[in-house]
Amino acid sequence: MTMTDQFQLTDDQLAIQDMARKFTADAITPFAAEWDEQAHFPRDVIKAAAELGFAAIYVSEEAGGIGLGRLEAALIMEAMAYGCPATSAFISIHNMASWMIDRFGGDDVKARFLPDLVTMDRMASYCLTEPGSGSDAAALRTSAVLEGPGSGSGAGYYVVNGTKQFISGAGVNDVYVTMVRTGAPGPKGISCLVIEKDMPGVSFGAKEKKLGWNASPTAQVIFDNVKVPVANRVGAEGDGFRFAMAGLDGGRLNIGACSLGGAQRCLDEAVVYVKDRQQFGQPIGDFQNTQFMLADMATELEAARALLYLAAAKVSANAPDKTRFSAMAKRLATDGGSNVVNNALQLFGGYGYLKDYPIERFWRDLRVHSILEGTNQVMRMIVGRDLLRQ
């Protein structure tokens, strides 16, 4: 148990954390290496997480969710990532898509989609990134041209054309919360549509062959003259980019939490290993160099965890500096998490490089965390610009 577990969390939060840890220990950790090796998507396990409420962590209780805050969500993601960061991140993405519909959608779109998303009878992807617009998300080009009798409530439809890149769950998920261009270039021309897998003109690229996250399928989502009812729009035209940025605050916390969970697992594995591994007639844990490495790993992990929990509280409270703190926490947790895992692999020596041990899987899975939900270079830009505006 870490210091932040015992001295900063409420009894309710500790109970939620314990439930997530038990689920992970029973349903995720024993099987994660096989999922990675076989590139298996554990749909049944992910759906089982929904029975605990983990498919709608910060969806409102009125909409069928469990209505928790971003700190509780981070605790759940961190606990599940201890077993498999890819599976935890997949559930995080589903939560972000469901939350966006709940937070910004009208009564009709919420009533049609949320009941099945809360239970994960249908699973959701979030579609923002495109082949030509990654960090520059406001430059997205996927177009949605309004046709029919107008943009009034439930009237008409959009014809959607374009391609989304690096979409987790593409091809296996049923619902795609998609950012499209309905207006002029720039952020104010972006809107949000809920697009369904079985709509004519929706197709998917080949499954990407990735360094890590092998338990989570990734592919392009391709829209070819897809007719999407205006009733599937979330919020007003032109508000999509604002929704996307609001979603990223929570997404950054979750992916940071996934790094914390993976790094904690590798630190724990390293502590056990260095007590047992003998070199020069004694356990390598007896060497001061080993102890210094473990001390730095634990310190880096606790510092990142404390900042991430603080940022999560700020997002839940809608604090004015929530975006800056989310960016700082994401940057520190993902960079620090990868560093901890890398040092754990070093302590394992050649054995750390083998798939017989879990370290190399976490090394691969955590590497992408400093890229997605905004690269860590963009996180630095967000923090620096916010400081200069004060």
pLDDT digits (tens, 9 = 90+) for 184-233: 999 999 999 999 999 999 999 999 999 999 999 999 999 999 999 999 99
pLDDT, residue 8, reads 76
- Residues 184 and 264: their CA atoms lie apart, in Å, by 46
pLDDT, residue 3, reads 44
For residue 188 the two structure tokens come to 């104010």
Asked if the model's pLDDT at residue 151 lies above 50, the reply is no
- Residues 275 and 284: their CA atoms lie apart, in Å, by 7
- Residues 32 and 42: their CA atoms lie apart, in Å, by 9
pLDDT digits (tens, 9 = 90+) for 325-340: 999 999 999 999 999 9
pLDDT, residue 150, reads 53
pLDDT, residue 7, reads 52
pLDDT, residue 155, reads 75
> What is the mean predicted confidence (pLDDT) over 148-168?
83
- Residues 70 and 273: their CA atoms lie apart, in Å, by 34
Type of residue numbered 186: G
Domains of the chain, earliest start first: 3-119 (1.10.540.10), 124-238 (2.40.110.10), 242-389 (1.20.140.10)
Active site residue 373: yes
DSSP symbols for 186-237: SGGGEEEEEEETTSTTEEE-PPP--SS-TTS-EEEEEEEEEEEEGGGEESST
Type of residue numbered 83: G
Other beta carbons less than 10 A from residue 83's beta carbon: 25
pLDDT digits (tens, 9 = 90+) for 84-130: 999 999 999 999 999 999 999 999 999 999 999 999 999 999 999 99
> What is the mean predicted confidence (pLDDT) over 346-360?
98
Of 365, 358, 370, residue with least CA distance to 265: 358
Contact between residue 304 and residue 336 where contact means Cβ atoms under 8 Å apart? yes
The percentage of the chain sitting over the pLDDT mark of 90, rounded to a whole number, equals: 95
